Structure 1
């Protein structure tokens, strides 16, 4: 029987997985969630003998039930191939008492590749299944990594166009150059004079605009999303938590009956929600440790049950987490209020009108799986410095936020069980911040001289993703105010 999906704001509307992937966002502005969380029937021992691609099939077939075996295996095999610089797709590296799950071995050296390598295949397969005649317009807001990964995934994919909005002064120089040099006749990149939340709000507004939808349809287009609001982004992210548990079990690090903790640097809440779903599948995961930077809206939420975006927006050295509206939290809110879409919708309305909401005591009691904390800029920098000096292992700023919060968790709880830290980006993506943390002398160096020096001290080859932008030509130069985003979309689509 097919697993159906409902909106977090109206669970009376039911769609299939392929329909949810195509739409991206529900008509009412809600996010699609599975009507139930399935259980994995394959043991850890069996999973431990499987390749990443085989594990992906076992997980994804439970959520994407209207895909045939042939369709799903086609999507998986085309996504997880030589685009990744390791046969294992994701790697586990032990350093300083934790296992770092390296999710940056894909084409754009960030964890977004893990899902955005497969989303174009899931989307085009969904379009065929549902006899869609329009071209799909991928409309996406990025805080840095989603943009390039989505652009790379959809570049020149027939029947699609992709428009990415990013905060002009809110991403790293490497992140920006990766996006602005992206080739492909169907790609468009727009820098907005604002922050990520404004970009994300503008995208959601266009998704909810029924008049715009009619204009697009008349011109032969329809919107979909590559953000983690799309269930086709979230489901593939569950895979690497299952894979890491299976690998650790296979290698003898995780024993029968033992559980592990997972630490995730968190902005939009999608990556840690995927770990929560993996736990619900039956993975031996205990605590889900939610690590925030100085934009600590999630830390405050887990501390007191109030989500409050009414605060200063801080630009940090971990820009992919510079977010005050964590969209995917809505999926968790829906679940802990007993799948009550009216209650969930009322919380989101409060967030939209007042900028905050407070969950009930009964809902708070269901957050015991989670622990939240945050790292300051100084702590993030020190964590990079300390880990490098102690072990020679170099991590990026986002991973450092997670590693610092993990240390705080252990100090506070004395819980020393095996822990996996999601390493969400290569240090080469945030070279200046990483190298400045290691030694202030690097502050005056050129960006690409820093790349070469990082390669030398970390004893790691410069990734292809960096080499290819070293002398690449800028091909996108559009910029606009947040209230002109729709005009930018119409101009690109000639409507």
Structure 2
């Protein structure tokens, strides 16, 4: 069923499987659903997570073979609690935190990538094709992508990360990988540079032709791939259903979802859930000092002209070019207008919504941003109340404090251990290494961590090469000579 179209070309169509394998849509766009039908979520009050996923995918008409989807969803069996991979923790009468970090990489990217990797491999095998998966990471996508694709048939992975732009734990999760089908490179640049390389290669006909000569096809695991987004819709629905059950509320009670946002994939999943009828009052976008998303949602201006990427305590959000905003624009304003806006961004480094368009956008979103000092203050305050949160979650807590309503869920996107030195600094106002910070916090709080995290410091580094931006394409082609 051709139920996807390009965000920049309404005459181009694809089905879900082809959109997963080939995320490059015509006119340099992204694949997005043509339309989303309403669904009665109240029919799922006691549905388990895997069944909920299958029901929603069926509603979306994704047409995945049942046995393949079942096998992909078995990846949740390796989460801390297979029956509840995205649990809620109550903070107070109006705030719950949804913990999205109970998979192998200890970040929310596992929620989508854990099943996505096996799903992709199975579809590739059905087509009898071998794929190179490109991924660019600001810290969390990389480890989750590498974990999910390790040793899978018909798959090679190239992962690009900004050298010095991730936490030490995140870098070790990538550079200590042992599987022969995984290739990890630091780049001399920031995440926007890494993502720009990925996008340019996906749309580079000559590069793809060179790979095709070797019977290798190109795809991507970033949230430009709608396969990621499809799985990200589910945990927002799950969170809502768990929230009203925990609070003993009737279905239809509206909540705010508060999401620390970088590339906007997490927020996009919530946006689609709201379009499908989930009772979301607003999706609150929590930014760090790289507050371009807050500016956009408050003013309608997406303006890169005077922006320089800042390195903050919440590095997964250190992004200025948020890819998935494009899918929101398409859903609200259509392919022609989206193409105009994105072309203007590419040519002029900014675009501006009309006043009426801004009002439509604000029906779904509101936003604020948090300074680094405020981030540290919130981490310390929660620590003293026996809640360990990472800096990205702290940004979202700040947004809750500024924009709270009666019912709120904060999406916690990473476990504290991935950013332990920042927590240590918040507590003691001094710096230390990841290992020393982790050891201190574990002892001070009498908590434990999975062995795959604590063992990272003893594993050999298998991927040390750092590339200049212009070296990446040639290096990838050399891998397959």
Q: Which runs of 5+ in 2 are unaligned?
A: none
- 1:417 corresponds, among 383, 406, 411, to 406
Q: Return closer, same or farther for 1:3/1:435 CA change in 2, 3 Å cut-off.
A: farther
SS at match of 1:303: helix
Q: Is the 8 A contact 1:166 1:196 kept in 2?
A: yes
Residue 184 of structure 1 corresponds to 179
- 1:156 corresponds, among 136, 151, 162, to 151
Q: Is the 8 A contact 2:131 2:217 kept in 1?
A: yes
SS at match of 1:330: helix
SS at match of 1:200: helix
Residue 332 of structure 1 corresponds to 328
Q: Distance in 2 between matches of 1:203 and 1:191?
A: 13
- 2:457 corresponds, among 458, 466, 470, to 470
- 1:485 corresponds, among 460, 472, 476, to 472
Offset at residue 254 of structure 1 (A): 3.2
Q: Which runs of 5+ in 1 are unaligned?
A: 411-415
Residue 340 of structure 2 corresponds to 346
Q: Is the 8 A contact 2:134 2:220 kept in 1?
A: yes
Matched, 1:95 2:94: no
Q: Return closer, same or farther for 1:250/1:356 CA change in 2, 3 Å cut-off.
A: same
Query: Which digits, 9 at most, give the CA deviation of each residue in 1:337-395, with x for residues without a partner?
Result: 1x2x2221121111111111111222112112211110000010001111222x21010
Residue 244 of structure 2 corresponds to 249
Q: Is the 8 A contact 1:3 1:63 kept in 2?
A: no
Query: Which digits, 9 at most, give the CA deviation of each residue in 1:168-218, with x for residues without a partner?
Result: 121111111111001110001111110111110111101111111111111
Residue 214 of structure 2 corresponds to 219
Q: Is the 8 A contact 2:41 2:278 kept in 1?
A: no
The runs of 4+ residues in structure 1 deviating greater than 6 Å are none
SS at match of 2:285: strand
Q: Distance in 2 between matches of 1:155 and 1:136?
A: 13
SS at match of 2:27: coil
Query: Which digits, 9 at most, give the CA deviation of each residue in 1:249-303, with x for residues without a partner?
Result: 2334433441111000000011011011111222111111000000001011011
**How many correspondences in the alignment?**
478
Offset at residue 451 of structure 1 (A): 1.1
Residue 402 of structure 1 corresponds to 396
Offset at residue 396 of structure 1 (A): 0.0
Q: Distance in 1 between matches of 2:337 and 2:251?
A: 40
Matched, 1:453 2:447: no
Matched, 1:315 2:311: yes
Matched, 1:127 2:124: yes
SS at match of 2:63: coil
- 2:415 corresponds, among 426, 437, 441, to 426
Q: Is the 8 A contact 2:202 2:218 kept in 1?
A: yes
When normalised by structure 1's length, the TM-score is 0.93
SS at match of 2:152: coil
Q: Distance in 1 between matches of 2:332 and 2:83?
A: 38
Q: Return closer, same or farther for 1:61/1:454 CA change in 2, 3 Å cut-off.
A: farther
Answer with 178-187 or 116-125: which moved more. 116-125
Residue 363 of structure 1 corresponds to 357
Offset at residue 248 of structure 1 (A): 1.8
Offset at residue 409 of structure 1 (A): 1.1
